[in-house]
Chains A and B, each alone.
Chain A
Amino acid sequence: MADKITLEVARYDPERHTEPTFEKYEVPFRKDWVILDALNYIKDRLDGSLSYRWSCRTGICGSCGMMVDGEPKLTCATFLSSYAPGPVRVEALRNFPIVRDLVIEMTDFMVKLKKVKPWIVRENEKPISQGEYLQTPEQLENYKQFSMCINCLLCYAACPVYGLDNLFTGPAAIALAQRYNLDSRDVGARERREILSDHEGIWGCTFVGECTEVCPKHVDPAGAIQQYKVDAAIDWFKSFLLPRGAK
Chain B
Amino acid sequence: MTEKPVYTEFHPRWYRTRVSTYWWLDRTPYVKFILRELSSIFVAFFVVITLLQIRALGQGPQAYPAFQQRLQAPIMVILNILSLLFVLFHTITWFNLTPKAIVLRVRGRRLPDLLIAAPNYVAWLVVSGVIAWIVTGG
Which of B22-30, B44-52, B55-63, B118-126 touches A?
B22-30
Chain A CB within 8 A of B33 CB:
yes
Within 8 Å by CB of B97, from A20, A137, A141, A207, lies A207
Interface of B is mostly: loop
The reply to whether B100 and A210 form a contact with Cβ atoms under 8 Å apart is no
Q: Given known contacts A105-B8, A226-B100, is B29 in contact with A12 (CB within 8 Å)?
A: no
Size class of the contact patch on chain A: 35 or more
Any chain B CB within 8 A of the CB of A222?
yes
A186 to B39, CA, bound (A): 41
Distance from B1 Cβ to chain A, minimum over Cβ atoms (Å): 7
Cβ of A134 < 8 Å from any Cβ of B? no
Interface residues on B, range: 20 to 34
Q: Say if the beta carbon of B5 comes within 8 Å of chain A.
A: yes
Judge if A246 is at the interface, Cβ distance under 8 Å.
Answer: no
List chain B residues, Cβ under 8 A from A30.
Answer: none
A 95-119 to B, binary, CB cutoff 8 A, 1 in contact else 0: 1011100000101001100100000
In the bound complex, residues from chain B placing their C-beta under 8 Å from that of A164 are 19, 23
Q: Is A223 an interface position by the 8 A CB rule?
A: yes
The interface residues of chain A lying within 8 Å CB-to-CB of B13 are 14-15
A230 to B116, CA, bound (A): 15
Q: Which residues of B contact A209 (CB under 8 A)?
A: 29, 33, 97, 100
Task: List chain A residues, Cβ under 8 A from B101.
Answer: 223, 226-227, 229-230
Q: Contact at B29–A213, with CB atoms within 8 Å?
A: yes
Q: Is the CB of B14 within 8 A of A220?
A: no
Q: Is the CB of B108 within 8 A of A208?
A: no
Q: Are B19 and A99 in contact (CB under 8 A)?
A: no
Known: A160-B23, A210-B29. A99 touches B1 (CB 8 A): no
* Residues in chain B near residue A28, CB distance under 8 A: none
Q: Is residue A163 within 8 Å, beta carbon to beta carbon, of the partner chain?
A: yes
User: Chain B 1-36, CB within 8 Å of chain A: the 1/0 string?
Assistant: 101110010011111110100011011011001000
Partner-A contacts on B (CB < 8 A): 1, 3-5, 8, 11-17, 19, 23-24, 26-27, 29-30, 33, 37, 97, 100-103, 105, 108, 110
- Chain A residues engaging chain B, CB cutoff 8 angstroms: 12, 14-15, 17, 19-20, 70-71, 94-95, 97-99, 105, 107, 110-111, 114, 137-138, 141, 160, 163-164, 206-210, 212-213, 220, 222-223, 226-227, 229-230
